[in-house]
DNA sequence: TGCGGAATCT
DNA sequence: AGATTCCGCA
C-alpha cells in the first residue's frame, strides 16, 4: 500500500486539465500511470500559472527556460512521490533525453533546453500542437489514439 | 553549471 | 525502460 502520496494527481476543481490517461501509458509499461518527465515539463509549460517557474523562450521554436530550477524539481518530486528530488537529479534525467533525441541543451544559455519537436515529438505524439506563438496545446483526438513510442 | 558513467530501483 | 541516486570531472 502506498500512503500519503497519491499516484495520479487530480485536476483541482478549477479548470486546469491534465494529459488524457492514455498519454501516461507506454508500450513498455502498459498499465503504468507514471508520467514521464518530458510530459510533465510540457504540462507545466502549457499552464499560465507556472510562467515564473518555467517558460517558452520567445523566438526559439521549442526552446524553454527553467527560471526556478528548485521549484521545478520540487513539483516533479511531488508528482513522483520523491521528496528528495532536486535539480541535480532532475537534470540528469533530462540529459538522458539527449541520446533519445527528445531534448537537447541550448549551449551557453543557463537552464535552457530545447525540444526536438520536428524530428521526434510531432510524428509520435500527434496530440501535441505547437502554435505560432510557441505555445503548446494538447488535442484530445479520441481515446483510440495510441502513442506509438519508438525512441 | 553542465556532463555522462555506474549502480540501483520500480 | 525510464528514471533516481551518487559522483568525479571540466
Q: What is the mean pLDDT of residues A59-65?
A: 89
SS3 (DSSP) at A128: strand
CA distances (Å), A127 to each of A66, A99, A135, in order?
A: 24, 23, 14
The reply to whether A25 has its C-beta less than 7 Å from any atom of strand C is no
pLDDT at A59: 84
The reply to whether A110 has its C-beta less than 7 Å from any atom of strand B is yes
Q: Which nucleotide is nearest to A93 (CA to C1')?
A: C3
Please check the confidence at residue A40 and state whether its pLDDT lies above 70.
yes
**Residue, of A141 and A22, whose pLDDT is higher:** A22
Residue nearest to nucleotide C2 (CA to C1'): A36
Q: How far apart are CA A87 and CA A74, in angstroms?
A: 8
What's the CATH number of domain A32-119, 1.10.10.10, 3.40.50.1970, 3.40.640.10, 3.30.300.160? Answer: 1.10.10.10
- The answer to pTM > 0.85 is no
Q: What is the mean pLDDT of residues A124-138?
A: 58
Please check the confidence at residue A81 and state whether its pLDDT lies above 60.
yes
Å from A92 (CA) to B3 (C1')? 9
Domain ranges of chain A: 32-119
pLDDT at A111: 98
* Average pLDDT for chain A: 75
Reading the block at residue A58, the C-alpha cell is 520567445
Amino acid at each position: 500500500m502506498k500512503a500519503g502520496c497519491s499516484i495520479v494527481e487530480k485536476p483541482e476543481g478549477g479548470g486546469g486539465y491534465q494529459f488524457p490517461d492514455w498519454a501516461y501509458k507506454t508500450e513498455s509499461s502498459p498499465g503504468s500511470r507514471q508520467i514521464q518527465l518530458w510530459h510533465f515539463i510540457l504540462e507545466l509549460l502549457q499552464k499560465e500559472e507556472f510562467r515564473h517557474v518555467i517558460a517558452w523562450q520567445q523566438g526559439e521554436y521549442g526552446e524553454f527556460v527553467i527560471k526556478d530550477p528548485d521549484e521545478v524539481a520540487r513539483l516533479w518530486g511531488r508528482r513522483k512521490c520523491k521528496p528528495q528530488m532536486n535539480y541535480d537529479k532532475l537534470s540528469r534525467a533530462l540529459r538522458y533525453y539527449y541520446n533519445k533525441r527528445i531534448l537537447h541543451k541550448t549551449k551557453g544559455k543557463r537552464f535552457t533546453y530545447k525540444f526536438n519537436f520536428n524530428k521526434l515529438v510531432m510524428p509520435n505524439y500527434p496530440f501535441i500542437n505547437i502554435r505560432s506563438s510557441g505555445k503548446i496545446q494538447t488535442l484530445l483526438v479520441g481515446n483510440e489514439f495510441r502513442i506509438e513510442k519508438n525512441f
